[in-house]
């Protein structure tokens, strides 16, 4: 054996050895019990972050132990297309080349992003290998694989058939100049000085007014309430009263909501859910209607109860001017602050003002899906570890609203809905025509362009809420255009345990479903875990897993959240390279206590590098002892128990206790605790104590037999935690073992009597 363990000489070779041995591949043995984990798919074009490393360390630990315990283990690897995130990364590349997504039609853009992802995809796969993950690569899945897409669209069709899909209005960031929606991340903010208007809203049955401040008086035609902060004493008496919306026949309630900033304007604000994201949320909380007064061309469209109709059809800026003029004439402007500085949302592409706009979106009705999903956790059919995270699940299930599932990005699974351009004349379309984007309703566009040209250059399509549509995987007729929205990533990854196992009909699905444990970061309990439980029960009648383990977030060394802008992001590969994968895995595992967030445990990584050296040195010592002895050392199973000493009995009993403790801890997902038991047993009881005293003993045939037995057992216990070095030593001690060809990865997990 080399004097020092050099992980760089072993890790790659050992991974190859495992892979070639077939140990990773699950076989569906009817005589065995399956044990299945589905790997939460990392971003296909991304890189491993410390959270991914922790996830792999924990899941590999669970899988390796069960494999050694004789279960038919399956750990399915996969990667995620990470819709929006990836598209943004790709668009950054485009920008460097002086281009943007608007230079491409939808299909070309999709192909380009696909090429970009496939070029980068092997990087993350290599990193998963480097971590020692004993995943079954023959069952690898990507979230945009054709079979995954088929299952996901079939689920959508089933939901639609079951009347659980509907289209409804949703507030999005819309740029009327670009003619498209922008995701929150694509919206930039700039500071600008605009007049702040203080408008008097008369109170009903009173001569008094309530004054609200706004920079957007023209949107008042969409007001549905006035809101004040419940803590604001000035308005206590007015809550529950009614105000008269100027320039209309509308009466609106005065409500209280914690969102209102007491220090803004007068402390009373108008609630315009059709044109403001915060107000949209307030309206949802208070069950208020939403009125849209600006169309997707950025022109005013007034509701029928408006008394002042002169601004109908005008642009927003002109309408604002005229509205203020009218209010002044009616003496309803109390004051204008011309020095008001505020943050304005603009589109990242052209810096145009974002117009929060109500657009139809696809929704999933969640009531019938969430109730059984809530029930299985309440009943304990699905257990959440650590237990203290469970209340989050219950709160989410109680408050979950219908789920908007359409996203205005190209990189994803396109919603299989089709619109006839003959039946839907007012589809709003943007398409690329000879390198230039054209926008407008399809009826007018068809006067200038052939349908085929529009179809070929199609970028986006916005169908009114009343549009007629057909749900189908294939184009239902010559005059049909497909919905350009894609599914929310969580809609497809919410079906991940199903699609990875070949739902609805496959041998794998029949044997391995439901899986055993879902392990992930607590951050995505609501976004992901809850959706998987909902879909699992909806489609199969059974929740997709029995246990959920939620790990904490790894923070930076300074205790802050890792972020590029703070410059405190830890690259796990640097640690892996310097201290070895085992030390990194074990360091992180012992840093996570009870699923709480924790600072990157650099000291622990170092301590486990030292631990690796320690167990390496023990192996060298044992090897040396065996080589220097002429006598035959019997295997422990052949040693007569009456020949062993008290010292032997002591280490054997401590070993049994360690096995019990490790098992108990791991059964309860207490990984750090289990790691600690093994560490102290090997370092204190075995190395510092037993090994030292055994040097003095004359009955070498007994003491060495016990030493070998205890040490090999320790390697087995440690293997799921530190797989590389334990397998390396196991190989070095080949000649000392009863079955020299046996690999540690498939050796039998120790139990008390063996």
Q: Which stretch binds Zn ion (CB under 5 A): 69-77, 352-360, 513-521, 595-603?
A: 352-360
According to CB under 5 A, which one of 241, 352, 414, 546 is a site residue for Zn ion?
352
Q: What is the length of the chain?
A: 754
Residue 423 and residue 463 in contact, taking contact as beta carbons nearer than 8 Å? no
Stretch in the footprint of Zn ion (CB under 5 A) among 342-350, 509-517, 585-593, 598-606: 342-350
DSSP 223: -
Instruction: Write the DSSP assignment of 441-466 as a string of letters.
Output: EHHHHHHHS-HHHHHHHEEEEE--TT
State the pairing for strand pair 225-228/268-271.
antiparallel
CB closer to Zn ion out of 175 and 446:
175
DSSP at 684: I
Instruction: Kindly state the smallest distance separating residue 485's Cβ from Zn ion, in Å.
Output: 19
Q: How far apart are CA 713 and CA 717, in angstroms?
A: 6
Of 620, 576, 628, 607, which is closest to residue 729 (Cα–Cα)? 620
Closest distance of CB 180 from Zn ion, Å: 8
Nearer to Zn ion, 350 or 504 (CB): 350
Least distance from C-beta 462 to Zn ion, angstroms?
Answer: 15
Q: Which is nearer to Zn ion, 350 or 740 (CB)?
A: 350
> Which residue, 295 or 656, has its beta carbon nearer to Zn ion?
295
- Minimum Å gap between C-beta 431 and Zn ion is 17
Q: Which residues contact 338 (CB under 8 A, 6 or more apart)?
A: 193, 195
286 binds Zn ion (CB under 5 A): no
* Segment lying near Zn ion (by CB under 5 A), choices 86-94, 351-359, 646-654, 734-742: 351-359
The least CB distance from residue 349 to Zn ion, in Å, is 5
Pairing, β 383-385 against β 406-407: unpaired
Q: How far is CA 493 from the centre of its chain?
A: 9
**Choices 346-354, 355-363, 372-380, 738-746 (CB under 5 A): range interacting with Zn ion:** 346-354
| Alpha-carbon distances, residue 66 vs 134, 462, 543, 675, 717 (angstroms) | 12, 51, 21, 16, 12
Q: Which of 38, 94, 175, 747 binds Zn ion (CB under 5 A)?
A: 175
Residue 294 Cβ, how far from Zn ion at the closest point, in Å? 15
* The token pair that represents 122 in the structure block: 């092997």
Which of 70, 350, 477, 504 binds Zn ion (CB under 5 A)? It is 350
DSSP 232: -
Residue 347 is a binding residue for Zn ion (CB under 5 A)? yes
Minimum distance, C-beta of residue 518 to Zn ion, in the bound complex (Å): 41
Nearer to Zn ion, 409 or 672 (CB): 409
Q: Minimum CB separation from Zn ion for residue 419, in Å?
A: 24
Which residue number, 187 or 606, has a Cβ lying nearer to Zn ion?
187
Q: Which of 154, 177, 203, 471 binds Zn ion (CB under 5 A)?
A: 177
Nearest to 531 by CA among 415, 414, 395, 403: 403
Residue of 62, 133, 159, 178 interacting with Zn ion (CB under 5 A): 178
Cβ proximity to Zn ion, 178 vs 467, nearer residue: 178
Print burial letters for 566-592: b (CB count within 10 Å at least 16), e (below 16). eebebebeebbeebbbbbbbbbbbbbb
Q: Which stretch binds Zn ion (CB under 5 A): 168-176, 313-321, 649-657, 682-690?
A: 168-176
Size of the site for Zn ion (CB under 5 A): 6
Q: At closest approach, how far in Å is the CB of 348 from Zn ion?
A: 8
Q: Tell me how far, at minimum, the Cβ of 83 lies from Zn ion, in Å.
A: 21
Please report how close the Cβ of residue 182 comes to Zn ion at its closest, in angstroms: 8
| Closest of 714, 615, 721, 709 to residue 666, by C-alpha | 721
Give the up-direction half-sphere exposure of residue 289: CA atoms within 13 A in the CB hemisphere.
Answer: 11
Task: Give, as ranges, the residues between 90 and 129 that touch Zn ion (CB under 5 A).
Answer: none
Other residues' Cβ atoms within 10 Å of the Cβ of residue 687: 18
Nearer to Zn ion by C-beta: 176 or 416?
A: 176
Q: Which helix (H) or strand (E) holds 278?
A: helix 277-286
CB nearer to Zn ion: pick between 178 and 288: 178
Binding interface with Zn ion (CB under 5 A): 175, 177-178, 347, 350, 352
């Amino acid at each position: 054996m080399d004097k020092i363990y050099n992980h760089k000489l072993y890790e790659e070779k050992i991974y190859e050895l495992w892979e070639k041995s077939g140990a990773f591949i699950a076989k569906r043995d009817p005589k065995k019990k399956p044990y299945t984990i589905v790997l939460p798919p990392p971003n296909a074009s991304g890189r491993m972050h410390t959270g991914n490393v922790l996830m792999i360390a924990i899941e590999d630990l669970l899988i390796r132990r069960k494999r050694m315990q004789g279960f038919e283990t399956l750990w399915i690897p996969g990667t995620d297309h990470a819709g929006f995130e990836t598209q943004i990364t790709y668009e950054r590349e485009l920008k460097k080349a002086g281009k943007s997504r608007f230079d491409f039609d939808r299909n070309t853009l999709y192909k380009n992003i696909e090429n970009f992802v496939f070029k980068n995809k092997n990087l993350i796969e290599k990193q998963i290998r480097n971590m020692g993950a004993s995943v079954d690569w023959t069952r690898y899945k990507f979230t945009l694989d054709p079979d995954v897409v088929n299952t996901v669209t079939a689920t959508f069709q089933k939901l639609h058939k079951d009347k659980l899909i509907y289209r409804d209005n949703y507030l999005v960031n819309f740029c009327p100049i670009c003619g498209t929606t922008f995701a929150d991340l694509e919206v930039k903010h700039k500071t600008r000085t605009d007049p702040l208007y203080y408008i008097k809203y008369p109170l009903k049955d009173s001569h008094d007014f309530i004054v609200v401040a706004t920079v957007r008086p023209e949107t008042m035609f969409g007001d549905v309430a006035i809101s004040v902060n419940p803590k604001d004493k000035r308005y206590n008496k007015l809550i529950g009263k009614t105000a008269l919306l100027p320039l209309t026949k509308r009466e609106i309630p005065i409500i209280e909501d914690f969102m209102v900033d007491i220090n803004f304007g007068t402390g009373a604000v108008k609630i315009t859910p059709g044109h403001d994201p915060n107000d949209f949320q307030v309206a949802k909380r208070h069950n208020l209607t939403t009125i849209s007064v600006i169309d997707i061309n950025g022109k005013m469209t007034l509701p029928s109860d408006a008394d002042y109709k002169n601004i109908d059809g005008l642009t927003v800026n002109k309408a604002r001017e005229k509205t203020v003029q009218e209010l002044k004439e009616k003496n309803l402007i109390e004051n204008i602050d011309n020095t008001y500085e505020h943050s304005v949302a603009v589109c990242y592409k052209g810096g145009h003002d974002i117009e929060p706009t109500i657009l139809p979106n696809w929704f999933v009705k969640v009531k019938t899906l969430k109730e059984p999903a809530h029930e299985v956790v309440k009943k304990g059919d699905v257990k959440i570890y650590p237990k203290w995270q469970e209340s989050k699940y219950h709160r989410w299930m109680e408050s979950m609203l219908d789920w908007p599932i359409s996203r205005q990005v190209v990189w994803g699974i396109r919603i299989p809905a089709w619109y006839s351009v003959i039946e839907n004349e007012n589809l709003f379309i943007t398409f690329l025509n000879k390198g230039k984007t054209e926008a407008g309703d399809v009826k007018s566009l068809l006067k200038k362009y052939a349908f085929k040209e529009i179809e070929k250059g199609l970028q986006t399509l916005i169908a009114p809420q009343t549009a007629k549509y057909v749900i189908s995987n294939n184009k239902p007729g010559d005059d049909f255009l497909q919905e350009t929205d894609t599914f929310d990533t969580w809609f497809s990854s919410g079906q991940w345990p199903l699609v990875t196992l070949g739902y609805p009909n496959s041998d794998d699905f029949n044997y391995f479903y439901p899986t055993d444990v879902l392990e992930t970061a607590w951050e995505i309990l609501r976004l992901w875990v809850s959706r998987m439980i909902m879909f699992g029960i909806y489609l199969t009648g059974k929740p997709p897993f029995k246990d959920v383990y939620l790990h904490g977030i790894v923070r930076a060394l300074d205790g802050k959240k890792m972020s590029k802008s703070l410059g405190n992001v830890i690259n796990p590969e640097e640690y892996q390279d310097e201290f070895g994968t085992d030390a990194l895995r074990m360091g992180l595992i012992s840093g996570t206590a009870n699923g709480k967030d924790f600072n990157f445990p650099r000291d622990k990584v170092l301590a486990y590098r030292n631990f690796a050296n320690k167990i390496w040195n023990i192996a060298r010592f044992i090897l040396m002892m065996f080589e220097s002895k002429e006598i035959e050392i019997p295997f422990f199973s052949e040693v007569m128990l009456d020949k062993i000493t008290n010292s032997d009995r002591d280490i054997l009993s401590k070993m049994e206790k360690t096995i019990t403790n490790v098992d108990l801890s791991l059964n309860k997902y207490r990984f750090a605790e289990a790691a600690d038991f093994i560490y102290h047993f090997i370092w204190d009881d075995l190395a510092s104590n037993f090994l030292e005293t055994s040097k003095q003993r004359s009955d070498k045939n007994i003491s060495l037999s016990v030493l070998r037995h205890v040490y090999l057992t320790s390697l087995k216990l440690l293997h799921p935690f530190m797989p590389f070095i334990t397998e390396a030593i196991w190989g070095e001690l080949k000649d000392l073992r009863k079955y020299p060809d046996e690999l540690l990865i498939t050796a039998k997990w120790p139990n008390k009597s063996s």
